[in-house]
Homo-oligomer: A and B are copies of this chain.
Amino acid sequence: MSTIEKALMLLEHFSSNRPEIGLTEFKTRTSIDKGTLHRHLTALKNSGFLEQNYLTKAYRLGPAVIRLAAVRENTVPIVKTVQYYVDRIADNIHELVHAALPQKNGMSAIYAKDGGYHGVRVNFDEAEILPFHATSSGLALLAFHDDTLVANVLSKKLVSFTDSTPTDAVDIKANLETIRTHGFAFTDQSYEDEVGSVAVPFFGVKGDAIGTLAIAIPVSRINKSFHETIIKQLIVASTELCRDLGGQIPTNVATIWASKLEA
């Protein structure tokens, strides 16, 4: 792996939950040599990707990422486009809805809205990395992305988050096949206890999944008719979203989705 990739991997450790990381903490998290780490962090700092808390010396993300995100959003306005649909679904079904994009090691929610006026809410931390194998977003993406990503994900150790987290590569492969035939993914407490989720992919110009729309619900509120309502909403939204983004829904998926909507 190139030095560049090694250094950029360091940025993946930051999240809303962990906004600042010191040198020693990085060392324990990565088991990279302290000298090397310091050089990499300094390079990232010099490039504006990190800055240092001048009191604690801990590193946090720097201003360069803001500019880049603005340019990216100007180029491919996914966030802005996605917001409309997430809001719409959230308003309709009164649950926590989010859209996520794939990163190297999982999905990252780019926008979420909790339309709920329920007492029990699903907790949600934007910009957290959602593991591919344990979340409906991740599975929905894997199922409709290219096989190399699937192979890559399954070749690594599959962390268990709850008693229901699938950690067997064969099981997951079978599940991906099911997801392909159904046109959506769902999970039952595989990432967080008491939380189920449903996700559909949305597609890019090549007809490959470039992101997902998903809903997370406390398991107590899931029942068959609600499940069907949710799926229909997601399918409709994803269809319109693909149109907005200039994406192509693969014909087999389009067929499956059409039949779901009729039902």
Interface residues, chain A, with chain B CB atoms under 8 Å away: 2-5, 7-9, 11, 14-16, 19-20, 39-40, 43-44, 46-49, 54, 60-76, 78-79, 101-104, 108, 110, 126-127, 205-206
Contacts and interface: CB of A to CB of B under 8 A. Distances in A.
Given A2-B3, A8-B43, A11-B68, 12 more contacts: A2-B43, A4-B40, A4-B43, A14-B71, A49-B68, A60-B76, A63-B103, A65-B68, A66-B78, A66-B101, A66-B110, A67-B127
A54 B61 CA distance: 30
B3 A126 contact: no
B9 A63 contact: no
Given A75-B19, A110-B70, A103 B5 contact: no
A205 B53 CA distance: 10
B61 A68 contact: yes
A197 to B, nearest CB: 19
A69 B111 CA distance: 12
A63 B2 contact: no
Contacts of A76: 60
A3 B4 CA distance: 7
Given A4-B4, A7-B4, A101 B63 contact: yes
